[in-house]
Amino acid sequence: MTGGSSIQAYRLDPLGTDQHGENAALRALGPVALVELPGGVTAWAVTGHDELQSLLADPRVGKDVRHWSAMSQGRVPKDWPLLPMVTVPGMSTTDGADHRRLRGLVSRGFTPRRVEALRPHVESIVAELLDGLAASAPGPVDLCESFAYPLPMRVISELLGVPAQRLDTLHGYSRSVISSSATPEESVAAYQGLAELLGAVAAERREHPGDDLTSDLIAVRDAGDRLTGAELVGTMILMLVAGHGTTLNLLSNAVRALSANPEQRALALSGAVPWSAVVEETLRYDPPVGNFPMRYALEDIAVGGVVIPRGDAILASYGAAGRDPRHYPRADRFDLTRTPNRHLSLGHGLHFCLGAPLARLESELALRELYRRFPQLTAVEGTAEPIPSFVSNSVQSLPVHLGEPVPAAGARR
């Protein structure tokens, strides 16, 4: 083990075969439990909602990998598959002034005004994709491939100025970068592929600036705002991976939950609850990220009945916290009328997800229009295979029966 405790660690399944079952087992051990990750790396999984909320905002917890004792002492394998994820230069691996600087630069691209200005474009992409689905009705079709993946990937790639012909390559790389079951060779190759491809995009945007976030970031860097080349590419990687993967998983998980709970689906279809309620309850009940590595204890921290030693790694277990029965009544029930419904699935505190408004906008629009066009849509039971990861929480594909489509608005019958 690479942790600083003699407590027996619970070994997490790197394939994420049954994340919710595993989460229940971890919560039974307490709100904070020592877990073993691939390669014998250990971390403290925080599975209790209140404990996780507290730690996410605790100044005694950092994100800079240099605080990780196991790393500085050489106890993390050099070919550890998640190493690129915890070392990539950017907001997700920095603290203090560096984090504030990077976040301040990137936040300019996700202001409420800029996100709202994307609404018409998101609506047009949704309509185009739904027209494509209608041609395949009544199905079955793979909703991930045909709808849930291309929507957020097109939005975030256009925001970054990435050429459309590179999207599928980027998607494959990003899946491997966050996979806890990838081989070391696959993980390193995926990170290098992302860095090279996005580095080429940055070089192109330097020569030919456009109306995109990459060009904006280059402009502030050239104006002396201290954004290094590595930070620029690392920031692009973070936005690309999180910007499409989160929404892809969220849409897939929402459709699965609505299909498994027809009474809740009926509430949404009738307008008795807003589609925003579907988005928020899915985020709580089946979040797109099950566990997010890593944070590090900057000093000994007493929480949840244990002491996390200084220098130990902390795993934010969003999936487990979302179903913590101490915080949520009927936590294992998908309930669109749940109120209040505050969750931690998009983070909390200084590292709250900057792209949350965009993810919410995309998901709400997508689900509303998807079910307006295909009110009979249901997932095909027993066909969904989980993504082989304990980080990403969703399925690799989602076969659905579309049913007969309702004509698009303005279409002739």
Percent of the chain predicted with pLDDT > 90: 67
Q: Binning pLDDT at 50, 70 and 90, where does residue 1 land?
A: very low
Q: 261-318, pLDDT tens digit by residue?
A: 999 999 999 999 999 999 999 999 999 999 999 999 999 999 999 999 999 999 999 9
Q: 110-125, pLDDT tens digit by residue?
A: 888 888 989 999 999 9
- What does pTM read for this prediction? 0.92
Q: 180-205, pLDDT tens digit by residue?
A: 767 778 878 888 888 899 999 999 99
Instruction: Report residue 365 as tokens.
Output: 């629009």
- In Å, how far are 173, 295, 391 from 386, measured between CA atoms? 18, 25, 11
Instruction: Report residue 326 as tokens.
Output: 């101490």
Q: Binning pLDDT at 50, 70 and 90, where does residue 234 land?
A: confident
Q: What pLDDT is recorded for position 90?
A: 86
Helices within 73-111 (DSSP H only): 83-87, 96-107
Q: 161-182, pLDDT tens digit by residue?
A: 888 888 888 888 877 777 776 7
If we measure between CA atoms, which residue out of 229, 37, 244, 28 comes closest to residue 149? 244
If we measure between CA atoms, which residue out of 397, 372, 410, 373 comes closest to residue 131? 373
Q: Assess whether pLDDT exceeds 60 at residue 4.
A: no
Q: 75-102, pLDDT tens digit by residue?
A: 999 889 899 889 988 889 999 988 998 8
Handedness of CA 70, 74, 80, 83 (dihedral sign): positive
Domain 10-401: which CATH number of 1.10.630.10, 1.20.210.10, 3.40.50.2000, 3.90.1150.10: 1.10.630.10
Query: What rounded mean pLDDT belongs to the chain?
Result: 91
Q: Assess whether pLDDT exceeds 80 at residue 59.
A: yes
- Rounded CA-CA distance 167/173 in Å is 10
